[in-house]
Structure 1
Amino acid sequence: MSSEKQTNTASVIEVDAKRSKETGTASRSYTTSISSQEDKPREGVKGKFQDFIDGFRQFDVGELDPNLSDMERANVIAARSPLQRKLKSRHIQMIAIGGAIGTGLFVGSGSALSTGGPGSLIIAYFLIGSMIFATVQALGELSVAFPVAGSFLSLCSRFVSPAFGFVIAWNYAMQWLIVMPLELVAASLTIKYWNSSISSAAWVSIFYFGIMLINIFGVRGYGEVEFVLSAIKVIAVVGFSILGVILNCGGGPEGTYIGGKYFHDPGAFNHGFKGLCSVFVTAAFSFAGTELVGLASAETQNPEKTLPSATKQVFWRITLFYLVSLTIVGLLVPYTDPRLLSASSVDAAASPFVISIQNAGIKVLPSIFNAIILISVISVANSAVFACSRTIASLADQGFAPHFFGYIDRKGRPLFGIALSLTVGLLCFLSVSSKEGEAFTWLMALSGLSSICTWSIICLSHIRFRRAMKAQGRSTDELSFTSMSGVIGSWMGLILNILVLVAEFWIALFPVGGKPSAENFFQNYLNIVVNILLFVGYVLWKRRNAVLWLRADSIDLVTGRKDVDVDLVRQEKEAEKAFIRSKPWYYRMYRFWC
């Protein structure tokens, strides 16, 4: 696209944004995706090297109308984002299916099983999984309609208020900033399963530079690595589920028939209702990262086709990868097994998956599962840099962080966001300090409930989006994809998230098997305290200009919106429904869930 055309398009966007401000609605929507100006081809090694250097130069988003408000300016910048759409369908599908599978499932489920018992484990994961399904459906609807940079982070400021957008964006950035060094240390500890003589600093350095190289290649590097790692995790869970049925029937070398014995002795529940409440946080941690599908929407080649399918596949992850595998774990391992709490949170010896295999007398698989845990940890660290860098860029675009953090080069890399993530990632070298445990306990406390807050805001943003459409006389017929659970699902998700926060407040005050203490409370609830301080800080910063809640009739439903022909969308929906109705029941079932 020439610079003249780019300037003209930018002018149209800004005029439309001002019209939306004045009237509350707009008669037209515009496609605002702008590609960078292509450089003339160069020849030879010198030319390729120059292209490489030029790739780090900042992408020019054009001039902005100085009369735009802060929120309108943020909407325009998000719509013009130079992030490159290099994630293919297979990347998004695999990220959706296996992206969140990690130590929360493989290892964290062990402490949850010990605290609450197998019955609490299944109930908590089912409830959190149902909430996640509704949340991801809402996120899919928003991301398809508005495939803009920052996804739900920028849409929260648009549909709820800049105050909530400020809090949730910094909350999300803080989560992923802390996750990277934590996961790198976890990776070094996992290696000690095979070799404990080499210093943790050596392994941390290797993993650190590996993650750095992956992200230098941009979103395509992230997508390819996640595709491979997620595929390995999916195969591991499916394989274990099949093996678990065999072991439960007594098929192991030293195994005997178990059936439902452990649900009767020692029992299905431990510590009663309080034990169930304590499992909710572990379950939420296990699902953390599910929202990355929406965050990647601005870098997906065909979001209106890819994201609906990806969000539907969350059902399979919840059903097969969590509920089925954890039910099998509950059948194979009693919650009284001392090994569930005898090791650190990243040690394969504490994994109920590994314990069930050891009980059956299988010698080789524990090492294989330790490798799977290592892969999961590296996958999460890689996702942390991706998520954090995009979040930091979105913060800068909305005026919530220094402007230079919004720097995105011509290859679509948010360089300063990546640099900040990698800089904070150097905390991983605390692994050689004697205060490592104490330091990382408080770092984890900062991000402990971050995912619950994020999912709450996604549900609230969807509710406000639908409310704004109704207030401005718009219909869901103009949406190419609508949430399967609708607004009711978002309300249920929001309420359940709030109930989980209440339950965790109770557990933080009165811990299971312990006495109340200020230290325990802040280690479990510090994230919420920080979020409240962020909200207060925003109000003090903006003072009279602070916007705490937006009126539905004044919400911008235009800028960054995918340009659609409503009649054509309606016709396509009817044609697709007629085609599906003409197919056999099993095909209709497949299309409903996939």
Structure 2
Amino acid sequence: MEATSSTATHDLEKTQSKGSNVSNSSSTDVQQPYSEPKQGLMRTFFNTFKELEPSKEDADLLKNPDLSEAERREIALKNTPLQRGLKARHLQMIALGGSIGTGLFIGSGSALRTGGAASLSICWTIVGLLAFSTIHALGELTTAYPVSGAFSAHSTKFIEPSFGFAIGWNYAIFWMVVLPAEIIAASLTLQFWNDTINPVAWVTIFYVFVMSINLFGVRGYGEAEYIFTMIKMVAIIGFLILGIVLVCGGGPTHGFVGGMYYRNPGPFTHGFKGVCTVFITAAYSLGGSELIGVTGAEAANPRKTLPSAIKQVFWRIMLFYLGSLTLISLLVSSEDKRLLGTSSADAEASPFVIAINNGGVKVLPSIMNAVILISVLSVGNSAVFGCSRTLASLAAQGLAPKCFNYIDRMGRPIYGIAANGVVGLLCYCVASKHESTVFAWLMSLCGLATVLTWFSICVSHIRFRLAMKVQGRSLDELAFKSQAGFWGSVFCSVILVLVLCLQFWVSLYPIGAEKPDVTNFFQNYLGAFILLGFYVARKLYVRKLWEFTPLNEIKLDAGRSAVDIDLMHQEIAEERALLASKGFLYRTYKFWC
């Protein structure tokens, strides 16, 4: 108390001395009281980029020389100063439609052409089941361990650091490449209305737009995705209603469609190989679903908001993907020439636009094209968010340069955003005549990123459950349990390995090729070798062949969001009691959502 009083007195005397100097400096002017100069808006803005220092407690913890490398990683991840600014409504919208983009609206066209009408329902159903089980496994892990980077951090904790390093960098590179690809897709989408304007102008506008959103921090990302997803949801629900009307012959042409395209040209175009080829397109379209786990570290209350958001993934798969693609398979022929667009981003190659045009409906094709444009920008926005947070997580674990863990006062991993922005400048390749070739090889770097990321999530969940069992821990400790359970993750792991094997086959021997096609193989399978390269490179760097933590030595309480199990059970019991007091319809809604 005496020290505090002395300091305060000294500060007061110093202030009074300053005030005296000010008053004596001018004998003719009216004396004004001394006040600290106010900061202008620009200075205030630039100050937000200063690093947010960790708390003294966190800094003291990390200075402890007795900590192991794994324990340091846990502390650094748990205390990454990201802002918890995402509310329940943000998470729900991100879960429902945050990743709906070119994979669904445009990529489904190439899938229809390659595999046939029936392949859409078959492949998206199987991949949808994989996504459902994987996201539930991720939800269980993220609710228990809401750390920066989610699955890359979980891979490091439950599998080994080298595997977490490889998965994290593979995922970061995936989003780095997606950003310029989506910006180019947005610029080409506008050619649906006007193809006389140089696409470089649109690329510049969209690049500045996407990067600006992420400079507003996590709240900017959340609000943007909330608006984007609302528009996408309304558009897809409207398309579902319109599609049913058109199939039944209620459109302007009054022609009953039914299942005529299943009879001619038939349900499959290239047999079993065509169906196998569609699998990766389906996985790409559902890629980004795992972003709901990345948002866990920036959710206001992960234990309450994440489970509800995770459950809504089921409805996105069933309603938005399977529902709309089933109607597409009925309304558009797999032999339609318009599906053979010169660019994968060509809006006129979208089966959604083709279906509406076939029905003779005016104006709506332009509206759907506008929705495609918004969806493309939404995925670009998610790309910057996903990449920067993954890089921050890797840096916190010591698996990336420390600069990427620089979090500013607004909670932005600014160096990660900057790195994504630099790679995003590749969008100006749109001005080159070799643009399609450049991006074919860029996308090859991460063509299997979704499959490999889902595999890492499932394996992490399997080892988490096994560690719980070996250490005699009860599943009642978990605030959220995967509805697919342990065996759901086992099933997913097996099927994903099978998908990788089938993709190896169709990449080496593509449709119509009698001999191995080396170029096609590396354009479709290079991502697996990139992952293997990262894994081996770190092994050689650390010179540790075996880094797997035995199940009985995995520190299950380190990094947990709710270590006080009794308090958590009390909160859950109170929530269940409150739910039991509600009506039947509300209880049913909360069960599914």
- Which residue is equivalent to 2:468? 469
User: Relative to structure 1, is the Cα distance of residues 393 and 569 closer, same or farther in structure 2, using a 3 angstrom cutoff?
Assistant: closer
Contact 2:116 2:268 in 1 (8 A): yes
* Aligned position for 1:54: 47
One-letter amino acid of the counterpart of residue 543, structure 2: R
Q: 1:131: which partner in 2? A: 130
In 2, Cα distance between equivalents of 1:175 and 1:454: 11
1:212 partner SS: helix
Structure with max Cα Rg: 2
RMSD across aligned positions (CA): 1.8
Measured against aligned partners, the alpha-carbon deviations of 1:128-168 in whole angstroms (never above 9, x if no partner) come to: 00110111111111111111112111121011110110110
2:430 equivalent to 1:431: yes
List runs of 5+ in structure 2 lacking aligned partners. 1-34
Alignment match, 2:498: 499
Quote the Cα distance in structure 1 between the aligned partners of 2:357 and 2:36: 60
2:454 match: 455
Partner of residue 537, structure 1:
537
> What letter is aligned with 1:533?
G
CA contact (8 A) 2:557 2:563 kept: no
Cα deviation digits, residues 546-569 of structure 1 (max 9, x gap): 544221111121222113433344
The residue aligned with 2:72 is 73
Deviations 1:254-302 (A, max 9, x none): 2401112222222222212111111100100110110111101111111
> Which residue identity lines up with residue 528 of structure 1 in the other structure?
A
Alignment partners' CA distance in 1, 2:165 and 2:180? 24
Q: Give the deviation of 1:522 after TM superposition.
A: 0.2
157-166 or 67-76, larger mean C-alpha shift: 67-76
Structure 1 pair 579–394 and aligned structure 2 pair: CA distance change class (3 A): closer
The share of aligned pairs that are identical, in percent, is 54
Pair 385,43 (structure 1): closer, same or farther in 2 beyond 3 Å: farther
Counterpart in the other structure of 1:38: none
Residue equivalent to 2:30: none
SS of equivalent to 1:192: helix
Deviating above 6 A after TM superposition, structure 1's stretches of 4 or more consecutive aligned residues are 581-584
Q: Report if aligned partners of 1:163, 1:547 keep a CA contact under 8 Å in 2.
A: no
What is the SS of the residue equivalent to 1:267?
Answer: coil
Q: CA deviation at 1:571?
A: 4.9
Deviations 1:55-93 (A, max 9, x none): 211122224234433332221111111000111111110
Which is further off, 193-202 or 124-133?
A: 193-202
Q: Compared with structure 1, are the counterparts of its residues 243 and 67 closer, same or farther at alpha carbon in structure 2 (3 Å cutoff)?
A: same
Give the secondary structure class of the aligned counterpart of 1:46.
Answer: coil
* CA apart distance, 1:233: 0.7
- In the superposition, relative to structure 1, how do residues 431 and 43 fare at CA in structure 2: closer, same or farther (>3 Å)? farther
Corresponding residue number in structure 2 for 1:525: 525
Map of 1:248 onto structure 2: 247
Q: Is the 8 A contact 1:77 1:397 kept in 2?
A: yes
Q: Please list every run of 5 or more consecutive structure 1 residues that lacks an aligned counterpart in the other structure.
A: 1-41
1:259 corresponds to which letter in structure 2? G
Partners of 1:46 and 1:578 lie apart in 2 by 51
Could you say which residue in structure 2 is the equivalent of 1:386? 385
Partner of 2:289: 290
The residue identity in structure 1 corresponding to 2:301 is: N
1:575 shift after superposition? 5.8
Equivalent residue, structure 1, for 2:192: 193
| Correspondence for 1:11 | none
Q: TM-score, normalised by structure 1?
A: 0.90
Q: Any conservation in 1 of the 2:188–2:347 contact (CA below 8 Å)?
A: no
Letter paired with 1:56:
F
CA–CA distance in structure 1, aligned partners of residues 108 and 46 of structure 2? 46
Alignment of 1:237-276 (within 5 A): 237-276=236-275
1:202, distance to aligned residue in structure 2 (A): 1.0
The 1:59/1:582 distance shift into structure 2, 3 A limit, reads: closer
The 5-angstrom pairing of residues 569-588 of structure 1 reads 569-573=568-572, 586-588=585-587
DSSP-derived class of the 2:116 partner: helix
Residue of structure 2 in register with 1:368 after alignment: 367
Q: Does 1:310 align with 2:306?
A: no
Identify the residue that residue 511 of structure 1 maps to in structure 2.
Answer: 510
The answer to whether structure 1 residue 490 and structure 2 residue 499 are counterparts is no
Counterpart Cα distance in 1 of 2:215 and 2:228? 18
1:431 deviates by: 1.0
Letter in 2 for 1:530: I
SS in 2 for 1:527: helix
Per-residue deviation, 1:591: 2.4
Structure 1 437/47 Cα, relative in aligned 2: closer, same or farther at 3 Å?
Answer: closer
Alignment partners' CA distance in 1, 2:583 and 2:212: 48
Separation in 1, partners of 2:360, 2:533 = 52
**2:275 is aligned with what amino acid?**
L
- Report the Cα distance in structure 1 between the residues aligned to 2:588 and 2:193, rounded to whole angstroms: 45
Task: Please give the alpha-carbon distance, in whole angstroms, between the structure 2 residues aligned to 1:567 and 1:82.
Answer: 27
Query: 2:115–2:269: 8 Å Cα contact kept in structure 1?
Result: yes
CA distance in 1, matches of 2:342, 2:239: 22
Quote the Cα distance in structure 1 between the aligned partners of 2:39 and 2:426: 38
2:329 & 2:98 partners in 1: Cα distance?
Answer: 24
Amino acid at match of 1:52: F
8 Å CA contact 1:162–1:547 kept in 2: the answer is no
CA distance in 2, matches of 1:524, 1:186: 20
CA-to-partner distance for each residue in 1:504-524, whole Å, 9 max, x for gaps? 111101111234211010011
Question: Counterpart in 2 of 1:10?
Answer: none
- Give the AA of the match of 1:55: T
Alpha-carbon distance in structure 2 between the residues aligned to 1:564 and 1:75: 14
Tell me whether 164-173 or 572-581 shows the greater mean CA deviation: 572-581
* Kept after mapping to 2: 8 A contact 1:118/1:330: yes
In structure 1, how many angstroms separate the alpha carbons of the residues matched to 2:380 and 2:36?
A: 38
SS of corresponding position for 2:67? coil
Q: Is the 8 A contact 2:156 2:165 kept in 1?
A: yes
Amino acid at match of 1:405: F
Q: How does 1:82-231 map to 2 (within 5 A)?
A: 82-231=81-230
**Aligned residue type for 1:59:** L
Give the whole-Å Cα distance in 2 for the aligned partners of 1:511 and 1:264: 26
CA distance, structure 1, for counterparts of residue 588 and residue 559 of structure 2? 34
Amino acid in the other structure paired with 1:58: E
Three-state SS of the structure 2 residue aligned to 1:95 is helix
Could you tell me which residue of structure 1 aligns to residue 15 of structure 2?
A: none
Distance in 2 (CA, whole Å) between partners of 1:342 and 1:466 is 47
CA displacement, residues 14-67 of structure 1 (integer Å, 9 cap, x when unaligned): xxxxxxxxxxxxxxxxxxxxxxxxxxxx99852655543332111222242344
Q: Is contact 1:190-1:374 (8 Å) kept?
A: yes
**Rounded Cα–Cα distance in structure 2 between residues aligned with 1:120 and 1:579:** 45
Q: CA deviation at 1:585?
A: 5.5
